[in-house]
């Protein structure tokens, strides 16, 4: 018979949840930073100016979201209850802004391939 202390199981679950949140934050920041880089360096697709601006805003929002998420995970014990709730609401707001801008970019006509028209033949009769 295996005896498992209840506190150990709860601590293991909290540790796993914190690790998962850290990974999600890291992926969110990495995707937010790489989006404008891909948009500005793409040679196969042309992007509108508003989409490039939206991508830059998404990158700033992703970094702010990740920083706030890091603070909520590791410094929640030193925050007051009201401060924690305010930070959680701001984090949710930043997530909504980033998702909204990403959906706007994805739903627009931005993935237009660059078409090179062949030279017209001017020697036709």
Question: What is the distance between the alpha carbons of residues 17 and 25, in angstroms, rounded to a whole number?
Answer: 12
Using the predicted structure, report yes or no on whether residue 124 has a pLDDT greater than 60.
no
pLDDT at 39: 83
**Domain boundaries, given as residue ranges, for the chain:** 20-111
pLDDT one-digit tens code per residue, 108-118: 764 555 555 55
Mean pLDDT confidence for 82-100:
93
pLDDT one-digit tens code per residue, 28-82: 899 889 988 888 887 777 777 888 899 999 999 999 999 999 888 888 888 898 9
**Model-wide pTM > 0.75:** no
pLDDT band at 105 (very low <50, low <70, confident <90, very high): confident
Burial of 72 (0-12, 13-18, 19+ CB in 10 A): middle
Using the predicted structure, report yes or no on whether residue 6 has a pLDDT greater than 70.
no
Nearest to 94 by CA among 72, 109, 110: 72
Using the predicted structure, report yes or no on whether residue 100 has a pLDDT greater than 50.
yes
pLDDT at 98: 92
Tokens linked to 74: 């590791």
Tokens linked to 52: 């490039």
pLDDT at 117: 55
Q: Tell how far CA 96 is from the center of its chain.
A: 10
Question: What is the distance between the alpha carbons of residues 43 and 69, in angstroms, rounded to a whole number?
Answer: 34
Residue partners of 59: CB distance under 8 A and separation at least 6? 32, 33, 35, 36
């Amino acid at each position: 018979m295996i005896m498992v202390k209840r506190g150990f199981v709860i601590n293991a679950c909290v540790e796993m949840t914190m690790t998962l949140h850290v990974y999600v934050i890291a992926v969110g920041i990495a995707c937010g930073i790489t989006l404008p880089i891909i948009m500005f360096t793409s040679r196969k697709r042309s992007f509108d100016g508003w989409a490039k601006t939206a991508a830059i805003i998404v990158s700033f929002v992703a970094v702010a979201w990740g920083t706030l998420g890091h603070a909520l995970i590791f410094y929640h014990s030193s925050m007051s209850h009201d401060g924690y709730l305010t930070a959680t609401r701001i984090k949710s707001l930043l997530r909504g802004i980033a998702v909204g801008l990403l959906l706007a970019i994805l739903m627009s006509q931005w993935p237009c391939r660059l078409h090179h028209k062949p030279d017209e033949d001017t020697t036709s009769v």
